[in-house]
Amino acid sequence: MSIRNSAFSAAMIALIVLLAFVPLVTNGYQLSLAINIMSYMVLATAWTLFSGPTRYVSLATVAFFGIGAYTVAVLGEELSWPLVLAIAFSIGFALSLIVGLSTLRLSGVYFVIFTFGLAELVRQLVTWYEVNVTRTLGRYIFIDVTHAQIYWQLLALAVIVFISGWLIQRSKLGLALRVIGDDEAVARHVGINTTLAKVVLFAFSASFMTLAGAIMAPRWTYIDPAIAFNPVVSFQVLIMALLGGVHRLYGPVFGVIPLVILFEVLLAKFPNHFSIMVGIAFLLIVYAIPRGIVGLVEGMQFSLHKAKGAKA
Amino acid sequence: MLTEPLLSGITLGGIYALIAMGLTLQYGVARIMNLSYGESLVAACFAALWLFTAVSVNPLIGLLVIVPLAALINWLIYQVLLMPLVRRAPSRDALEVDSILATFGLLFVAQGLMFAIFGGNYFSYNFLSIPVQIFGATISASRLLALAFAVIIGLALYIGLTRTRAGTAIRAVAVDPVSALLVAIDVRATTAFAYALGGALVAAGGVLVSMFLTFNASLGVVFTMKALIVVIMGGVGNLLGCLVAGMILGLTETFVATYVDPGLTLAATYIIFILVLLLRPQGLFGARRS
Amino acid sequence: MNAPLLSVSGLTRRFGGLVAVDGVTLEVRAGEIVGLLGPNGSGKTTVLNLISGALKADAGSVQLRGRALEKLPAFKIAREGVARTFQLVRVLGSMTCKENVIAGLAFGAKSRWGTEAEQAAHELLVRVGLAARGNVMTSELTYIDQKRLELARALAMQPQLLLLDEWLAGLNPNELRNGIELVRSLRAEGRTILMVEHVMDAIRSLCDRCYVMNAGRKIAEGTPKDVLADPEVIRAYLGDADA
C-alpha cells in the first residue's frame, strides 16, 4: 500500500469518526436534517452503485425503501432488531432478483418501464392486503430508538455501501459492469455473463435501499402505503444522483447535501407546489449539467489540462 | 352473466388500445419514451370536466377543442423541450435515456400543476350515464359511446397512416430516419408531427375515459404504465398489436375486477407484463430484432 | 487427417422473409487462416454473428472441437474459445487501452486478474504495436490503433478460434501492409483465424483457403487463387456479363 493510499484511508476514518459525533453537537432540528441527508446519501449511493456503471435508470427506489419500512411496521415489535433488518434485507433481495431476472436480460427500456410502475404495484398490493386481511390501512410504529441511534445506523449503512461499492469497483464484477455500460455486445463477446452481473448488482443496490427504509421507519410513528411508497422519494434520489454525477461512486454526495437542504426549504415555503418545483429543478439538471457536478469539475480540469498541454 | 364483464372489458380494451396508439407513435417514431404520457390523459379528463361543469359543453363537442389543443401543446413540448435532447444525443439509446429523464421531470411538473389546481380529490361527472341493454347485459351509454369513438378514431388513424402521403412519411421515419432523410422526407417536422399526433390521441382517450371513469390528479402514472405495457405487448409501432394487446389488458382487468378483486387489477396487469417479458419480449406482432 | 477445429453445417438464419444465411457449411482446421468472401449483403457478417453467438441460428450446427455452440449464449461461446473483432470497430470508450485489454483477459476460460493481467495486457499491447499507449483513453486513438486495440482484446482471450470481421478494411496502403504483417505473425504463432475480408491483397497473401458466399449461400470454396478465378464468383461480384 502506498503512502497516498494510507493517507486517504486515514482521512476517511477521521471523517467517519467526525460524522459519528454529529448527534452529540446538534439540536433536534439539525439532527433531523442530518438524518435526512444520511438517508438520501445511502439511497443515492446505492442507486449509483447499479445505475451509474450500467446506465440502467431505476425508478423503483421507493418500492424497496417502502418495503423496508413496512417490514419494520409489521415485525418491528415482535422480533429482535437485527433479525428485522435481516428479514428486510432478504425481502428486498428477493424482490430485486425477480425484477432483475425478468427484465435485465432485455434492453434497458423494459427495466425502466418495469421499475416505473413497481412502486405503484407494491403500494396497491400492500393496500389490498391491509384492507382485506388486516382490515386497517395504517400502522403505528412504536420502537424504542432515539434519533441519534437512527443516525448512527444510517452512518454505518452508508459506510458499508461505500466500502461495498469500492470493493466492487476494484473487482472483476466492477470491470464487467463498466464494460457492460460501454458496450454490452462487447461484454458478452469477452465472456461476461451480462445478465448475472447486472442482476447481482441490482439486488445489492436494492437491498441497501430496503435497509435504509427499515432503519428510517421508526422516525414515523404512523405509516400507511401512501407515506411509505411516495413516488417523490424515487424522484428525489434520481435527481440527487444525477446532480452529483453518477460515473463516480462519491458523485451523489455532491448532489445529496445541497438538494436535501433545498427540498427542505421548498417544502416549508411551497408545500402545495413542491412537486412542480422539484420537477423544474430536475429538468434544469438534466438539461444544464447532464454529467453532474463531478462531471462538470472533471470536464473543467480536463480542458485546463488540455490548454496547458497546448501551451507547453 | 359473462356478457357483462365481457362487454365492459371490450369497451375498456378499446380505450386502452386508443391510448396506446398515441404512445406507440411517440415512442416508435420520435423515440421518446414519454413517462408523462398519462398526465396528458388526466389533463384531458380535467379539461373535459371543466368544459362540462363550468361552461356546460358536452365532452363530445369538447373533443373538438381539447384534441387540437393537446396536439399543439405536445408539438410545442417536442420542439422546445425535447429537440435539444434529440440534437445532443449521440445515439438512439442515449436519446431514450435522456427522454426518460426529461419526461420523468415533466411528469412531476404536470402532476404538481394539476394537484395545485384540483387537489387530490376524485372527480367524475354525469354524462349519458343511462343504462343500456345489449345481449342481456347492462352497460352505460357513455361507455358504449366512448367505445364507438375509440373505434372511429383508431380506424381513421389506421387509414391515415397507411393510405396517405403524410402517413407513409411517418412510417418511413419509424423504420429508418436516416433513409427517410435520403428520400427527401423532412424527418424533424415528421417526428414533431407524430409526437403531436400521439398527444392528440391520448387527449382524445382522456376525454372519452372521463365520461365514465372517476379520476384524480395522480392517476397518470397508472395509465402511462398500462399504455407502455400495451405498446410492448403489441410490438412497438404496431397499431394492430395495440388493438389486440389493449383488448387483452381490458378484458383481463375487467375479469379480475369482477371475479377476483378490484384491488388487484394492477397486479394482473403486471403479471401479463412479466409473461410478455419472459415469453415474447418483442411483442405479439413484433419481428425478432436483428 | 485430424478433425476440424470448427465445423459449421447447414447454418441458416432468416430476418423476416429474407434468408440472410442459407444452409452454409464450412470447416476451419487448427492453424489455418480461412477467408470468408462475398459481395456486400451476402451474409458473411451474419455467419460470424451466428458463430460467435451474437445471433441465434434458425437451423444448423456450429461445433468447436466437437462441442456444440449453436445453443450457447455469446458469453459461453467466448469462454469456449471463440474471440472476435467487429465490422464497425468497437472499443470501450470510457476506458484506457490497457483496461480494454484487461477486459479481454479477465473473463475468459483462463481468467487473469491483478498484476498478472497488467503484465499480460502490456505484452499484448506491445504485440499489436501499442506499447506506449497503455494509459491513453481509447477515444484518443486513431482508427488503425483502435483496430489494433480490438485485436489485442481478442487475443487476450487466448482464443482457439479468432474471428476477424473486415479487420483490414478502411486502412491506407501503409497501414494495410502493417496490418497484413500483424495477421501473418499470428499465423506464425499457430493461431486459427476465420476472416471476413474484401481486401484482395490480404486474402491472396494470408488465406490458406476461402469460402465465397452470395445471397446467403456458399457458392465456392478452395484456395484464394482458384475461387477468385471461379466464373460463378466473378458473376456474383460483377453481375452477369450479358445482363
If pLDDT is split at 50, 70 and 90, which confidence band does A203 have? very high
Counted domains in chain A: 1
The residues, any chain, with a CB within 8 Å of residue C188's CB and separated by 6 or more, are none
Q: How far away is chain C from the Cα of A182, in angstroms, using its nearest Cα?
A: 6
| Residue B289 confidence (pLDDT) | 44
Interchain pair C55, B287: CB under 8 A: no
Domain range enclosing A96: 2-230
A290 interfaces chain B, CB cutoff of 8 Å? yes
Residue of A nearest to C75 (CA): A191
Size of interface A-C (CB pairs under 8 A): 70
Tens of pLDDT, residues B208-267: 888 888 888 888 888 998 999 999 888 887 888 888 999 999 999 999 988 888 888 888
The residues, any chain, with a CB within 8 Å of residue A133's CB and separated by 6 or more, are none
User: Can you tell me the mean pLDDT for B76-99?
Assistant: 84
| Residue A312 confidence (pLDDT) | 43
For cell 451474437, name the residue.
Answer: C54
Q: How far away is chain B from the Cα of A147, in angstroms, using its nearest Cα?
A: 31
Mutate to test the interface with C, among A189, A246, A247 (most CBs of C within 10 A): A189
C15 interfaces chain B, CB cutoff of 8 Å? yes
| Residue C243 confidence (pLDDT) | 42
Q: Which of B97, B101, B281 sits opposite A110 (nearest CB)?
A: B281
A103 interfaces chain B, CB cutoff of 8 Å? yes
CB atoms within 10 A of CB C132: 10
Where is C26: in which H helix or E strand? strand C18-28
* CA proximity to B188, closest of B50, B84, B65, B68: B84
Sort B208 into a burial class: Cβ within 10 Å, 0-12 / 13-18 / 19+.
Answer: buried
Tens of pLDDT, residues B27-39: 888 888 889 999 9
Interchain pair C103, A183: CB under 8 A: no
Q: Locate the domains of chain B by residue range.
A: 18-234
Question: Which chain C residues have a beta carbon less than 8 Å from that of B290?
Answer: 15, 55
| Residue C169 confidence (pLDDT) | 87
d(CA A206, CA A43): 9
| Residue A305 confidence (pLDDT) | 65
Residue of C nearest to B287 (CA): C16
d(CA C235, CA C220): 12
d(CA B200, CA A269): 36
**B134 has pLDDT over 80:** no
If pLDDT is split at 50, 70 and 90, which confidence band does B190 have? confident
- The distance of Cα C87 from the centroid of its chain, to the nearest Å, equals 9
Interchain pair A188, C93: CB under 8 A: no
* CA proximity to A204, closest of A12, A51, A38: A51
Interchain pair C92, A179: CB under 8 A: yes
From the CA atom positions of chain A, what is the Rg in Å? 20
Which carries the bigger pLDDT value, residue B92 or residue B269? B269
| Residue B159 confidence (pLDDT) | 86
Q: In this structure, are residues C91 and C141 in contact, taking their beta carbons and an 8 Å threshold? A: yes
CB atoms within 10 A of CB C221: 16
d(CA A16, CA A22): 10
C16 interfaces chain B, CB cutoff of 8 Å? yes
Question: Which chain C residues have a beta carbon less than 8 Å from that of A181?
Answer: 94
Give percent of chain B with pLDDT exceeding 90: 20
Residue of A nearest to B99 (CA): A286
Lowest mean pLDDT among A3-7, B108-112, C239-243: C239-243
Tens of pLDDT, residues A266-287: 888 888 888 888 888 888 888 8
Size of interface B-C (CB pairs under 8 A): 5
If pLDDT is split at 50, 70 and 90, which confidence band does B6 have? confident
Residue type, B21: M
d(CA C161, CA C83): 6
Sign of the four-CA dihedral B232, B236, B240, B243: positive
Q: How far away is chain A from the Cα of C92, in angstroms, using its nearest Cα?
A: 6
Which grid cell sits at C236? 456474383
Mean pLDDT (chain B, rounded): 85
| Residue B140 confidence (pLDDT) | 79
Question: Which chain A residues have a beta carbon less than 8 Å from that of C83?
Answer: 189-190
Lowest mean pLDDT among A45-59, A117-131, B175-189: B175-189
Interchain pair B261, A59: CB under 8 A: no
**B288 has pLDDT over 50:** no
**A81 has pLDDT over 60:** yes
Q: In this structure, are residues A206 and A92 in contact, taking their beta carbons and an 8 Å threshold? A: yes
Tens of pLDDT, residues B149-180: 888 888 888 888 888 888 888 888 887 777 78
Tens of pLDDT, residues A151-197: 999 999 999 999 999 999 889 999 999 999 888 899 999 999 999 99
Interchain pair A182, C92: CB under 8 A: yes
* CA proximity to B242, closest of B284, B200, B270: B284
Mutate to test the interface with A, among B93, B104, B109, B253 (most CBs of A within 10 A): B104
Question: Which chain A residues have a beta carbon less than 8 Å from that of C111?
Answer: 172
Global pTM exceeds 0.80: yes
Give percent of chain B with pLDDT exceeding 70: 98
Question: Which chain C residues have a beta carbon less than 8 Å from that of B288?
Answer: 15
Which grid cell sits at C201? 491483397
Q: Compute the C-alpha angle A155/A159/A164, nearest 5°.
A: 145
Q: Which of A109, A114, A121 sits opposite B96 (nearest CB)?
A: A109
The reply to whether A194 falls in a domain is yes
| Residue B175 confidence (pLDDT) | 79
Could you tell me the end-to-end alpha-carbon distance of chain B, in angstroms, rounded to an integer?
A: 46
Interchain pair A189, C83: CB under 8 A: yes
Give percent of chain A with pLDDT exceeding 70: 96
Interchain pair C74, A188: CB under 8 A: yes
CB atoms within 10 A of CB B175: 12
| Residue A38 confidence (pLDDT) | 94
Note down pLDDT in tens along chain C; length 243 residues: 467 899 999 999 998 788 899 999 999 999 999 999 988 888 999 999 999 999 999 999 999 998 999 999 999 999 999 999 998 889 998 899 999 999 999 998 788 888 898 999 999 999 888 888 888 898 888 888 999 999 999 999 999 999 999 998 888 888 888 889 999 999 888 899 999 988 888 899 899 999 999 989 999 899 988 888 888 888 888 776 554
- What is the ipTM metric for this complex? 0.89
| Residue B290 confidence (pLDDT) | 35
d(CA B66, CA B44): 7
Helix (H, G, I), strand (E, B) or coil at C72: coil
Q: Compute the C-alpha angle C136/C137/C143, nearest 5°.
A: 95
Residue C62: φ, ψ to 5°: -130, 125
| Residue B235 confidence (pLDDT) | 85
Tens of pLDDT, residues A292-303: 888 888 777 766
Q: How far away is chain C from the Cα of B287, in angstroms, using its nearest Cα?
A: 7
Which carries the bigger pLDDT value, residue A304 or residue C196? C196
* CA proximity to A195, closest of A61, A46, A56: A56
A226 interfaces chain B, CB cutoff of 8 Å? no
CB atoms within 10 A of CB B55: 8
| Residue C149 confidence (pLDDT) | 93
| Residue B143 confidence (pLDDT) | 82
Residues in chain C: 243
Which carries the bigger pLDDT value, residue B290 or residue B259? B259
